[in-house]
Structures are given as structure tokens and as C-alpha cells.
Amino acid sequence: MISQKSAHAVAKQGVKTQIVSRQRVVRCHAIAATERPPTVKAQGPIIMNGQVLHSISQERLELVQTLGPHLESQVLPLLRDPTKSWQPSDFLPESSDPDFLDKVHELRKRTTVLPDDYLVVFVGDMITEEALPTYMAMLNTLDGVRDETGAAPTPWGRWTREWTAEENRHGDLMNKYMYLTGRVNMHAIEVTIQNLIGSGMDPKTENNPYLGFVYTSFQERATKISHGNTARHALEYGDEVLAKICGSIASDEGRHEQAYQRIMDAVYEKDPNGATLAFADMIKKQIVMPAHLMDDGEHHGKTGRNLFAVSSLVVFLCFPFTAAATTSVLMA
């Protein structure tokens, strides 16, 4: 027989067992978390390989984060609807046309008058445009404005991707046109483009959006001037199609210049001291061209000279910057 005390103990143990048993049954219900904007914190400054990185202060990083509405209203509207934008095929012979080869023959005849030094300048511009993956990567190094997911719906993410999409047409069109002319060594050019993308670029912007957007403001104006020059000279040499190509690209660069100027205008308005210091810092460092690491793998070994330096010299000799043009870049 079980005593009353033992029965009570057994009953108590049974209650515990039941409780434990019930605790093993877990029912999970998915609850949507409330989406909150990410808190961006300054990461630096730090020094890596002798360079300062992540140099923006927390206060200025937070200021940059407030510029989203400004991008929405003043910057993103400068972008064009792809269905209404010009596309490379608009300037090239239609490959499906029965008279395609005749049109290519006309193009080749038309471009025979282009001097070699003009082609050097044009190809230098083309190689610079073709290194577009590097420039998108550069924008995504900037703290507070990078596209964190690759498809972020933020104004900054949208600007970076859609700016890149517009710029992508430039190198595409220039490359195809040069290929059809038969005037240049496309294999050597392609090697140079691959080398340049592989080498990257070092604008010394320190992951700092203040410095980064000073840099892009300069570069967009410089490329606008350069493509404008090649357009003008192409027209003088009698290639109206090439003039329209370069002019259309220059027009895009002009819109993009406006966009970066509007970003910097907003920074100047909210933080004039910080914006001025950023401008002074980039001028002191000297603005490097995006293609400053250009290399075809042969030129330096054969001549001992830097390919980018030689290309830049040809540009200067063909299209020397006047004092007014230089001032216009500095006052961008």
C-alpha cells in the first residue's frame, strides 16, 4: 500500500511532470519588427597604409544624413527616364539594316580625316569612361551615403545606381564607334581598360562624403569640358556624327555636374566651415584624374614613361586649358 504522504508526493511529482511536459511545447508566431532607420556612427578616423580613412566627424555625418529630402527634390530630378534618353544605337549604323556595311564604309571614310593626336585624346576619354565600375565603387566607399544593400531605396542609393546607369552609355558608345572606324588598336585599348579597372583609383577622399563630393564636382566639370572639346574639334574635322556623340556625352556630364554642385551647395548652407575646409583639403592634395593609374602593360617598359602622363600631355597640346577654363573648374 502507498501511504497518504507517498501518494501526495507522487501526485505532486505528476503535477511537475505535467508542467514540464507543457513547457516543452513551444508555439512560434512571426511578429513583424518595426522598421527603424539605421543609426550611422562615425568609424574613425583611422590610418591604414599611411592614409587617413573615415575622417568625417559624427556631427557632420549626421548632417549628411539629413540631406535625403534635398536629393529627392533637387538632385534626382536631374536624372533622365531611360525610355526617353539617347542610347548608343541612336548614333550607330543599324546592324539589321540591309545597307549596314555601306553605312560602316561611310563611317570609315568620314573618320579617315581625324588626326592621330585627336584619336589619342578621344581614346583617353573613352578609357576613362569605360572604367565606370571603379567610380561606382568609389562612391560606395563614402560613409553615410553608400548603397548598403546594392539595391537600397534610399535617395543616395538611387542616385549612385542611376548616375552609373546614365554614365554607362558613354563608354559603350565611344567604344563601338572607335571599333567601327578601324583606326585604333582595340585589343591594346581593351587591355588598358582591364588594367585600369583592376588598378582602381585613389582620390584620397578618406571615405568622407564632404571630400568625395568636392572631388566629383571637379571631375564632372572637367569631363564636360573635355567632351565638349572633342565635339568641337570633330565638327571642325567634318565628322558631324562624332561631334553629336561627344556633345551628347558632354551634356550628360553637365547635368551630373549640376547634381554634385547642388549636393555641395546644401553642405555649404548647413556647414560652411566644414565645406570650405573640405574644398581646401582637396585642392591641397591636388585633384587626381580618375584614370591616373592607366597602364597598357607595355608603354612604361618600352619607353620608361608613364602612359597616363603621356596621354595627358597630348591632351594639353591638342586642347590647352586657357586661364578662363582653369578658373571655371576651380570655381565649380
Catalytic residue selected from 167, 206, 257, 296: 167
> Which candidate in 130, 134, 160, 170 is catalytic?
170
Eight-class DSSP state of 296: -
Helix H or strand E segment including 19: helix 4-23
| Alpha helical stretches, state H, 45-201 | 58-65, 68-70, 100-111, 116-130, 132-139, 155-181, 186-199
Provide φ and ψ at 217, rounded to 5°.
-60, -45
Name the DSSP class of 90. Answer: G
- Which residue is listed with cell 564604309? 105
Q: Which of 125, 253, 257, 296 is catalytic?
A: 253
Instruction: Kindly state the cell numbers that stand for 317.
Output: 597640346
Whether residue 154 contacts residue 140, with contact meaning beta carbons closer than 8 Å, is answered with: no
Q: Which of 255, 263, 291 is nearest to 142 (CA)?
A: 263
Question: Which amino acid would we find at residue 215?
Answer: Y
State the catalytic residue, choosing from 125, 130, 143, 252. 252
Active site residue 102: no
239 carries an active-site annotation: no
Q: Residue 156 burial by CB count (10 A; 0-12/13-18/19+): exposed, middle or buried?
A: buried
Cell of 126: 573613352
Q: Which three cell numbers stand for residue 185?
A: 588598336
Closest CA to 291 of 318, 315, 272: 315
Point out the catalytic residue in the list 54, 62, 72, 86.
86
Out of 223, 257, 296, 299, pick the active-site residue: 223
Output b/e per residue, 101-124; b: 16+ Cβ within 10 A: eeebeebeebbeebeeebbbbbbb
Catalytic annotation present for 170: yes
| 81 tagged catalytic | no
Q: Residues 230, 256, 296, 299: which is the catalytic one?
A: 256
C-alpha cell at 203: 582620390
Say whether 299 is catalytic.
Answer: no
Q: Which of 129, 143, 147, 239 is catalytic?
A: 129
223 is catalytic: yes
Tell me the CA distances in angstroms from 118 to 7, 226, 307, 317, 319, one per residue in order. Answer: 105, 12, 16, 10, 10
192 given a catalytic annotation: no
Annotated catalytic residues are 86, 129, 167, 170, 220, 223, 252-253, 256
